[in-house]
């Protein structure tokens, strides 16, 4: 009994002594830290005293040394920037020469040739047969020293598919260029415009485009107004015989406003030999970013403004509400709504959504501006285009912007389609991906009906994989 008591008593005593021992152990550490702090403060004071003791000559030498170091850094940076700028000019020239080397696509002698309708100034195709349209999107020509190889790949892809398909018309739904320095090394978006337009001219294919958010970034050298003027001058000089781009209903200068029209809102008409209008192809500027997000860092994309929707409605009324298709860059919110409804119904059709083809390959779980995106990077701002289009005989809407997406669904009676993208440059690592790269064919019958087909650059045209493993073989 006593023995047990002694053991317990000893344990209690040890427990009581433990905090004391820990405190004693901590005291030297605290003293050591305090000594280090005092020493550190002492060193600082010593250096301060030494600095005060410096002679004027010593202070002068220190200042000169600091200036030399700063000057060296500035000079090195200036040399780097100058070297990149010089390289950009050389590379852009080389890419332009490469574009000029492409031979023309072999069109038949009876190919369709559009003309300007003097009544409204719109380009017009006249045909009693099928009209073959190729949608390209997000070509992303950097035109700089960092993007030389990827730009060459993009040109090859475009040329290969056009030569194989011989479309009557190519419509590029935005982002022909990518003047983003980290990827291209250049702010000069005109380089990309010159390279791409030269390529299309050499191929001899009729084409037009809609502006995308990257075509004229806030930090890019040239604005939408500048780019429009370039095309107009080249067309007037007879240097762009195949380019059907028109400034159309537009602003006088670049502005970010809910009332802005943007640039390139125009129409290409299709008639039969009897002179009856059978189809209207409508191009609309979906702008870039909302006011306050000038550089796109917040992913706050713009929308199609009411003034543009009003213009579309007026023109459709004037044209007798003919069947029409609409082309622009940034998807409208109905793309997200349609895909959300389809996904939440277990990838099964609903009363509103009918799936046709393609895939969603963007991140569906991403949340932006407190809203799940379902893989569709549209504006947070609603617009009236879809509702108005459904009341004016629209049959199809085509966009780009989300490079991995290429799904095509019918939503509330209108076919919503993502075009196959070209991009080798904008998305990091996308040059090693292959499932999304290609073109979209729209075969338009004379009665206004149509078929849509996605074509993969590698699988359908036998192109060689440039980089990365071949996912198409799986």
* pLDDT band per the 50, 70, 90 thresholds, residue 61: confident
* pLDDT band per the 50, 70, 90 thresholds, residue 63: confident
Mean pLDDT of 187-216: 97
Task: Measure Cα distances from 108 to 167, 338, 434, 462 in Å.
Answer: 11, 41, 31, 23
Q: Which of 86-95, 163-172, 357-366 has the lowest mean pLDDT?
A: 86-95
In terms of Cα–Cα distance, which of 232, 225, 168, 163 is closest to 197?
Answer: 232
Q: What is the 3-state secondary structure (H, E, C) of 142-184?
A: CCCCCCHHHHHHHHHHHHHHHHHHCCCEEEEECCCECCCHHHH
| pLDDT over 80 at 272, yes or no | yes
pLDDT, tens only, 342-357: 999 999 999 999 999 9
State the Cα–Cα distance between residues 93 and 131, nearest whole angstrom: 35
* pLDDT band per the 50, 70, 90 thresholds, residue 64: confident
pLDDT, tens only, 231-242: 999 999 999 999
> What pLDDT does 365 receive?
96
Check if the beta carbon of residue 263 is closer than 8 Å to that of residue 228.
Answer: yes
pLDDT, tens only, 401-453: 999 999 999 999 999 999 999 999 999 999 999 999 999 999 999 898 999 99
> What pLDDT does 88 receive?
80
Check if the beta carbon of residue 250 is closer than 8 Å to that of residue 232.
Answer: no
State the Cα–Cα distance between residues 326 and 320, nearest whole angstrom: 16
State the Cα–Cα distance between residues 349 and 339, nearest whole angstrom: 10
* pLDDT band per the 50, 70, 90 thresholds, residue 18: very low
* pLDDT band per the 50, 70, 90 thresholds, residue 19: very low
Q: Indicate the average pLDDT of the chain.
A: 90
Q: Which domains does the chain have, with CATH numbers?
A: 80-473 (3.60.21.10)
Check if the beta carbon of residue 191 is closer than 8 Å to that of residue 97.
Answer: no
| pLDDT over 60 at 324, yes or no | yes
Q: Does residue 54 or residue 209 have the better pLDDT?
A: 209
Contacts with 99 (C-beta within 8 Å, 6 or more apart), sequence order? 155, 195, 196, 198, 199, 202
Q: Which of 13-17, 208-212, 314-318, 347-351 has the lowest mean pLDDT?
A: 13-17
Half-sphere exposure of 44 (CA within 13 A, CB side): 6
């Amino acid at each position: 009994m006593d023995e047990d008591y002694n053991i317990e008593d000893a344990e209690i005593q040890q427990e009581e002594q433990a905090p004391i021992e820990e405190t004693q152990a901590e005291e030297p550490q605290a003293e050591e830290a305090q000594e280090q702090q005092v020493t550190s403060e002492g060193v600082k004071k010593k250096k301060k005293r030494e600095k005060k003791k410096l002679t004027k000559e010593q202070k002068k030498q220190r200042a000169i040394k600091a200036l030399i170091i700063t000057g060296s850094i500035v000079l090195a940076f200036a040399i780097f920037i100058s070297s990149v700028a010089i390289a950009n000019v050389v590379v852009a020239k080389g890419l332009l020469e490469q574009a000029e080397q492409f031979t023309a696509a072999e069109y038949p002698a009876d190919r369709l040739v559009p003309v300007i309708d003097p009544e409204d100034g719109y380009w017009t195709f006249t045909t009693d047969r099928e009209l073959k349209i190729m949608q390209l999107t997000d070509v992303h020509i950097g035109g700089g020293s960092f993007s030389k190889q990827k730009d060459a790949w993009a040109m090859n892809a475009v040329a290969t598919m056009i030569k194989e398909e011989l479309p009557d018309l190519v419509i590029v739904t935005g982002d022909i260029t990518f003047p983003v320095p980290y990827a291209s090394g250049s702010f000069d978006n005109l380089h990309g415009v010159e390279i791409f337009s030269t390529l299309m001219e050499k191929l001899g294919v009729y084409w037009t485009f809609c502006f995308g958010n990257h075509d004229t970034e806030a930090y890019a050298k040239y604005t939408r107004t500048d780019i429009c003027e370039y095309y107009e001058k080249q067309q007037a000089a007879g240097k762009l015989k195949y380019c059907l781009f028109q400034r159309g209903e537009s602003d006088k200068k670049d502005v970010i406003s809910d009332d802005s029209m943007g640039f390139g809102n125009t129409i290409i008409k299709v008639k039969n030999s009897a002179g009856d209008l059978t189809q209207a192809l409508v191009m609309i500027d979906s702008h870039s970013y909302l006011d306050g997000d000038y550089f796109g860092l917040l992913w706050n994309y713009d929308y199609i403004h009411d003034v543009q929707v009003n213009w579309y409605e007026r023109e459709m009324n004037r044209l007798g509400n003919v069947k029409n298709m609409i082309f622009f860059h940034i998807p409208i919110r109905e793309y997200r709504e349609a895909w959300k409804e389809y996904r939440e119904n277990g990838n099964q059709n609903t009363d509103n959504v009918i799936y046709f083809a393609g895939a969603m390959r963007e991140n569906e779980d991403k949340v932006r501006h407190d809203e799940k995106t379902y893989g569709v990077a549209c504006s947070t701002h609603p617009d009236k285009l879809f509702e108005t289009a459904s009341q004016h005989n629209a049959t199809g809407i085509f966009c780009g912007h989300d490079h991995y997406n290429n799904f095509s669904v019918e939503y509330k009676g209108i076919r919503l389609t993502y075009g196959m993208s070209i991009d080798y440059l904008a998305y990091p690592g996308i040059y090693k991906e292959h499932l999304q790269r290609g073109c979209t064919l729209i075969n338009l019958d004379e009665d206004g009906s149509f078929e849509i087909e996605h074509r993969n650059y590698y699988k359908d045209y036998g192109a060689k994989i440039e980089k990365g493993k071949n996912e198409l073989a799986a």
